[in-house]
Amino acid sequence: MNKKFDDIMEYLIIIVGALLASFSVICILIPNDAIDYGTAGIAIIISKLTGFNLSLCVLFTFLPFWIMGARMLGRTFGFKSLLGAAVYTVGLEVFKVIPFELNTEHFLAVAFGGAILGLGLALILRVGGCIDGSEILANIIVDYLAEKTGKNHSLTYILLAFNACVYIVAFLVINQNAALLSLLVYVVATSVITNVTDHFDAIKQVTIITKDPDNIIREIKEELNKTCTLMNSYGMIAGENKTLICYVSYFELQKMKEIISRNKGSFSTVTTVDEILR
């Protein structure tokens, strides 16, 4: 019952987060000449240039990244992300017909809209979902680099490069004000996301204490293609244990939690790692 209740709460949080994000985009950002960032920003640029329906542009821009992410990050991530994207696109249509006007300066309106957008996206990320394809792409690139080089990398630089390209395009094809205001949206939104999710773009160290590590190690290798450091440990009550240490990205953390939950009798902690030296 507790597991079902937790799942229902997570889906409700995703719905609330997606509605907050769509409200911010339609009712605050676009009326004040700003755009979202990531793949949603690309979709808004396409819609402005072609006149195509914004919701359809957002959905079709996100889908290719979702397909890649669902295959790599698992069924649970795929379902949560699809639910968030569906609610987000529906919200874009719903809030078009709801009269709302924020009578203040563009700068203040965009800062406020960026904060609401960041809160909505942070709620979705917090429970293991995602409605922005740039974050999925960054995770895929980081995973590829880790496989090729054997080193863990942060998502930060990839996301910065991706969004820099979006704002350069906005600067060239829309106008300078739109690009600069949108940059403010990115700064405010990512600041909120960072605080709510404890640096989702950083590497996560997962420490697992268990008496039976073999199955956990096997599942981590099969499902995440990761290896672990194994150490002997001793608990004053439990006695001899094994301690596993594994490094994953924020998006892989959801699958790691699923692996741990399937292997009862283990104790685990998650910490944020700023940098790994080799």
235/50: higher pLDDT: 50
Asked whether residue 241 is domain-assigned, the answer is: yes
pLDDT at 178 exceeding the cut of 80: yes
Q: Which of 180, 197, 214 is the last residue of a domain?
A: 197
What pLDDT, on a 0 to 100 scale, did the predictor assign at position 75?
A: 77
Q: How many domains does the chain have?
A: 2
CATH, residue 256 = 3.30.70.120
Length of the chain: 278
> What are the tens digits of pLDDT across the range 197-220?
877 777 889 999 988 888 999 988
How far apart CA 14 and CA 221 sit, in angstroms, is 29
Q: Taking CA 51 as the corner, what is the angle to CA 47 and CA 56, rounded to the nearest 5 degrees?
A: 50
Domain span holding position 166: 2-197
Cβ neighbors of 201 (< 8 A, separation 6 or more) are: 138, 154, 155, 156, 159, 194, 250
How large is the average pLDDT for residues 77-102? 87
* pLDDT interval class at 278 (50, 70, 90): low
Is the residue at 278 inside a domain?
no
Lowest model confidence (mean pLDDT) among 4-18, 142-156, 240-254, 258-272: 142-156
pLDDT in tens, 29-49: 988 888 888 889 999 999 988
Averaged over 251-268, what is the pLDDT? 84
pLDDT in tens, 98-120: 877 776 777 888 899 999 999 99
